[in-house]
Amino acid sequence: MDDHDTLLTDAAARIFGDLCDKALLDAAEQGEFPAALWQTLRENGFHELGLADSGVSLAQAFSVIRLGGRHALPLPLAEIVLANRWLGDGERLASVGRVMGERVVDVPWGRSAELVLGLEAGRSGCVLVTPEPDTVTRGCNMAGEPRDAVAIPAGADTIALTEPAFEYLTLGRIAAMAGCLERVLELCLGYVNEREQFGRPIARFQAIQHSLAIAAGEVAAASRAADAAVDALDDARFELEVAAAKARVGEAAGVVAEIAHQVHGAMGFTHEHQLHHFTRRAWAWRDEYGNEAHWQRRLGRHLAALGPDRLWSFLATRG
Amino acid sequence: MLQFDRVKLPESSDALRAEVREFLAESAEHLERPNSDFTTGHDPAFSRKLGACGWIGMTWPERYGGAGRSFFDRYVVTEELLAAGAPVSAHWIADRQSGNLILRYGTEAQRQHYLPPITRGESYFSIGMSEPNSGSDLASVRTSARRVEGGWLINGTKLWSTDAHRNHFMIALVRTEPVSENRHAGLSQIIVDLKNDGAQIRPIRNIAGAEDFNEVVFEDVFVPEDRVVGEPGNGWEQVTSELAYERSGPERFLSAFRVFVELVRAAGDQPEPQLAAAIGRIGAHLMTLRRMSISVAGMLDQGKSPNVEAALVKALGNDFEKRLPEIARLAVTDLAEDDPRHRSFRQAFTDTLLLSPAFTIRGGTREILRGVIARGLGLR
């Protein structure tokens, strides 16, 4: 990572850390658009990180998206960055969903978006929709993040996409999950060192230590898998690296969230505690843009087609 | 937070990998019952062929028979051998740790004496650490070496020494001074000639019916002065210094790989969705583990001591190599009994499952590793 990368990620970490407090996360979950956060992101150019002339590589943009996951950023940074990239300018609060019948569904903050891109499975283009109050049906995922449906008007414009949009958005979830899981582990480490039972911090108990050792293994695996998928952005096997990463990170999310809640005890089960903002996101993101089984099948079909004699060659990459 | 850097194998590794694959393709007579577990397949003829290729002790200096190659090159060779299920057990320990120990702590005379035959694939070493009452608590070893005229007199018992009945030497961790307040002090490493020094070696049958590991009993076994590796009393530091090398290599997550190969063979080229998912799940785990393992190799190459990261890769890798046969057995359900793929899957599955209890015990138990990781996380 060179200095420029570090400057960018340092700035993102500071801004996300300052603004994404529990009050903001709670308010966003109640449906209140985080306008001040959006304003700050715009002022700092985060919404246009994906533009060809931004001076920032796509890999770096995913580093920032990962930090967003680490702070449970209550805005769909991956969608904003990628939509503006595909639109060719960076002015808008744009979001992305997928076309189902006459609607674009699962649109993060569709209700507040200025423009929505609807992706169609198997098509390289997407439809452009400007949401109106009477065309948006509100919904949310299990983390309370808005996931709206937007009706597609007759004669809506379409644009061509040359990049693998589904895979890029999947990578957005992968990166955000990796960041999110790191934060969950940190919350665990902080909690078990503070919480005392039987006259000592529960961190001293071997049962707790071993649970967190397992969680640390999963977090490290998620992180390495996410990095590998980002590294493959320009590679012919990008889609398969995304498949491996989403499958692996999804498995890690389930294990880490389970352990995190166990070591936090009843405290972590309360709405008042911040843990759930991260664990619910990890749970929700597992199922967005294809769950583990979806991507395992995709990778598995490819490996099966290669057959037993070419299997190892596929796995034994240099990077 | 533990960091696993993005490390790429050097471009030059592609050519080496191709050479190893070509060699393996020409070694069919050594691969009749492939097994990816590094403790199976004691095949001196194969080890000598590898030695002739320059692939044993390949990171050591040329003056000791090595090839002066990088740690990454060794990584490529070892993972190719394991993935193919080649019989690597004879030279494995000598190549992985005994030779490195002698290179780092041994005298010049020891290096010249012991290293060249190892690199030729002719000289094999066993580990002499565990004892009847010392397993995970290694510092509690009681086997003693008492200084006598011209050398040392060893008394005690070493246990679980893989291939001691077949190999030439053991590096035994022994107590050369009485236990003091610092229980890590007073330990030394001594080379025992298993063929000539008079140690009694008794193979122990394992649950797979094989006799690979041994009990080695020392009753006033004399070894000459020049068998001590490094400084007497420095044994603990020496034993722990190579842990990152021992723990993070491809043998810590590839032990069950042949089951995966047979699963893919059994699945055919268009598996039904659940079978495809099982294959993809295993593939995703292996891709990630391998990259984590290579990250540690990169840290070692930079001269770092990533002991916690290595423990984490081993713990994660061992757990997965145990789970792999379990995932596979439930995924393969539709094969007819008389389908040859059924037989090859069952054989790989049975061979691997019966070895699998060892995966999370040897080289540091899962429980010990989790303790190391927890301390690395600041929990104590």
Q: What is the pLDDT of residues B59-102, one digit of tens each?
A: 999 999 999 999 999 999 999 999 999 999 999 999 999 999 99
Side-chain half-sphere exposure of A278, counting CA atoms within 13 A: 32
**Which pLDDT band holds residue A2 (cuts at 50, 70, 90)?**
low
- Measured between alpha carbons, how far is B286 from B280 in angstroms, rounded to an integer? 10
Q: Does A305 touch chain B (CB under 8 A)?
A: yes
Considering only CB atoms, which chain A residues are within 8 Å of B309? Answer: 220
- The answer, for A231 touching chain B at a CB cutoff of 8 Å, is yes
Lowest mean pLDDT among A13-27, A89-103, B33-47: A89-103
Is residue A247 less than 8 Å (CB to CB) from chain B?
A: yes
Tokens at residue A317, please? Answer: 């990459």
Chain B hits for A210, CB-CB cut-off 8 Å, are: 367, 370-371, 374
> Can you tell me the distance from the alpha carbon of A261 to that of A239, in angstroms, rounded to the nearest whole number?
33
Nearest Cβ partner of B295 from A203, A224, A305? A224
Which two three-digit tokens encode residue A73? Answer: 């950023």
Test A300 with B290 for CB contact under 8 angstroms: no
Contact A303 B279 (CB under 8 A): yes
With beta carbons less than 8 A apart as the criterion, state whether B170 and B161 touch.
yes
Of A206, A241, A315, Cβ closest to residue B286? A315
Contact B292/A224 with Cβ under 8 angstroms? yes
B295-309 average pLDDT score: 92
Surface-to-core class of residue B149, CB atoms within 10 Å of its CB (0-12 exposed, 13-18 middle, 19+ buried): exposed
Residue type, B64: Y
- Residue in chain A closest to B81 (alpha carbons) equals A312
Cβ contact, residue pair B292, A318, below 8 Å: no
* More confident: B242 or A109: A109
User: Measured between beta carbons, which residues in chain A are less than 8 angstroms from residue B316?
Assistant: 217-218, 220-221
Residue A298's pLDDT band, with cuts at 50, 70 and 90, is: very high
Average pLDDT, integer, range B170-190:
96
Of A203, A296, A308, the CB nearest to B280: A296
Using a CB-CB cut-off of 8 Å, the residues of chain A touching B261 are: 308, 311-312
Q: What is the pLDDT of residues A168-188, one digit of tens each?
A: 999 999 999 999 999 999 999
pLDDT at residue B334, rounded to an integer: 76
Burial of A9 (0-12, 13-18, 19+ CB in 10 A): middle
Closest residue in A to B10 (Cα) is A318
ipTM of the complex: 0.97
pLDDT digits (tens, 9 = 90+) for A211-238: 999 999 999 999 999 999 999 999 999 9
Measured CA to CA, the distance from residue A229 to residue A237 in angstroms comes to: 10
Q: Is residue B263 within 8 Å of residue B278, measured between CB atoms?
A: yes
Residue at token pair 């040859």:
B340
Q: What would the mean pLDDT of A19-24 be, rounded to a whole number?
A: 98
Determine the Cα–Cα distance for residues B190 and B232; give it in Å rounded to an integer: 9
Pull the structure tokens for residue B364.
């540091």
Chain B residues close to A194, C-beta within 8 Å: none
Q: Residue type for A23, please?
A: A
Q: Which residue has the tokens 């090859």?
A: B344
Joined together, the tokens standing for residue A90 give 């960076």
Q: Is B297:B247 a contact under the CB 8 Å cutoff?
A: no
Task: Give which of A257, A208, A223, A264 is closest to B370, Cα–Cα.
Answer: A208
pLDDT of residue B336: 83
The pLDDT mean for chain B works out to 96
Rounded to whole angstroms, the Cα distance separating B304 from B302 reads: 6
> Over the Cα atoms of chain B, what is R_g?
21
Length of chain A: 319
